Amino acid sequence: MSLHDLNTNGRTAGVPIGRMAKTVLVVSIAILTGAAGYWLGQERRLAGQWTKYITTQAAAALGQAGSDASPSTEPPAASSNKRILYYRNPMGLADTSPTPKKDWMGMDYIPVYEGEEQEDGSTVKVGLERVQRSGVRTGRVERRVLTMPVRVPGTVKLDERRIKSVTLRFDGFIEDLFVNATGQAVKAGQPLFRVYSSQVQQAQVDLIVATREFKARGGAGGDADPMIQGPMQRLRNLDLPEARIREVRQTGANPRTIDWPSPMAGIVLEKKVIDGQRAAMGSELYRIADLGTVWVIAEVPEQELPQVRIGDRAKAVFLALPGEEREGKVTFVYPDLKPETRTARVRIELANPDLKLKTDMFAHVTIGAGGSGAAVIAAPDSAVIDSGTRQVVLVARGEGRFEPRAVRIGRRGEGMVEIVEGLAEGEEVVTSATFLIDAESNLKAALQAFTPPPPAAAGEQQP
């Protein structure tokens, strides 16, 4: 349209300019209004989808991904066969309601029917697919005798009950040595040395004289006659062998020396006498030990001492005897502790028929403590979640339901732990992938802190 088409009264092709401007303005407003409405609709739709996504993910975190997390306008219908007891929080919180309601996120509370009371706030629900995918395994709580091996170091020592000291009860002189080397093996009754003593000579003379007078009187009274018993007892007090006393009495001879016999069979540990030496009364001449049985003194830490009992079986492996294992048993627990190491000495008796075990040999000792005790309630050791201040196990309720339960534990052994309190025989507990279910339980506890308290019912006051 050119300018000459415009007339002086403001009309264009017969249309006034003011009317055309109004028409353009109205059309523009309509277009903007429609665009704004479309944009707001899109925003609401996206917001609704985002809210639904967040709700679904929260439900999946608690093992409820299979349920419909989107809020519904109608409350769930009750089962025709079961009665609804109450409604529980859809996020697993410890919050119930006798009537249908929504939580702070707008989600409907889930009905709990008869027979499903265990599915309350104390039970963790995990989808069966997640349970299988995570490798959750369970074990049975059972009654059994726990064997708790205690592994400690030990040292070989002599059996103190099998050591003899050879001494004289009189003064004498050593004229001949028949056993003259340390470590020499001797037999019981084998002569060790030949000794002369004036005291023994005098006592033998007294017995010879008493025997002659006794025979001269006709032997009235027999061997019980005090005339005979007095000299014989003096020789016994000098520790002379009975064979020597009978020889003097029967033969009437007074041998000048006596061959002193070994009091036991064993190994000469110490020899403190030489040929020709004067032997003073009470001085030790030999020390002989029977090494057929030895002790192993084990050093048991103070905290493990209550697990060791007299009669427990023990095994010992020695550095000097690789591949060999000796078995014995605990015969004594010493009443004191070493303050430097806080360990107690435990005596273990071992047989040593081949005499391979030497004094002060080092040993690795395993004491099978507790094997003779009474049966106790025990669960797999891996089932206990120990925080340091409390112990918890996850009891399997079936169909993906798990109940965290606090327990009190006792002794451990053979991969099992004693349950003093908290579980009953026959219950199933989670033994693997406990971290997954424990994380679910911790999430539920954490959500409780962020859940606002339910509004007070009519007539009730807020605390």
Residue 102 pLDDT grade (very low, low, confident, very high; cuts 50, 70, 90) = confident
pLDDT of 125 reads 63
DSSP 233-278: HHHHHTT--HHHHHHHHHH----SEEEEEPSSSEEEEEE---TT-E
pLDDT of 114 reads 66
pLDDT of 188 reads 94
CATH, domain 149-159+291-369, list 3.30.499.10, 4.10.410.60, 2.40.30.170, 3.30.390.50: 2.40.30.170
pLDDT of 235 reads 94
pLDDT in tens, 370-381: 555 678 899 988
Of the candidates 419, 429, 378, 409, the one whose C-alpha atom is nearest the C-alpha of residue 146 is: 378
Between 229 and 50, the more confident residue is: 229
Poorest-pLDDT segment among 9-23, 127-141, 229-243, 300-314? 9-23
pLDDT of 172 reads 96
pTM over 0.75: no
Q: Are 210 and 227 in contact (CB under 8 A)?
A: yes
Poorest-pLDDT segment among 32-41, 110-119, 255-264, 355-364? 32-41
Q: What is the pLDDT averaged over residues 90-96?
A: 68
Residues of the chain with pLDDT > 90, as a percent, come to 40
CA distance linking residue 145 with residue 370, whole number of Å: 8
Tell me: pLDDT of 20 over 70.
Answer: no
Class of domain 124-144+375-450: mainly beta
Tell me: pLDDT of 271 over 60.
Answer: yes
Tell me: pLDDT of 59 over 80.
Answer: no
Residues contacting residue 21 through CB under 8 Å, at least 6 positions apart: none
Q: Are 266 and 186 in contact (CB under 8 A)?
A: yes
Tell me: pLDDT of 170 over 80.
Answer: yes
Q: What is the pLDDT averaged over residues 131-144?
A: 77
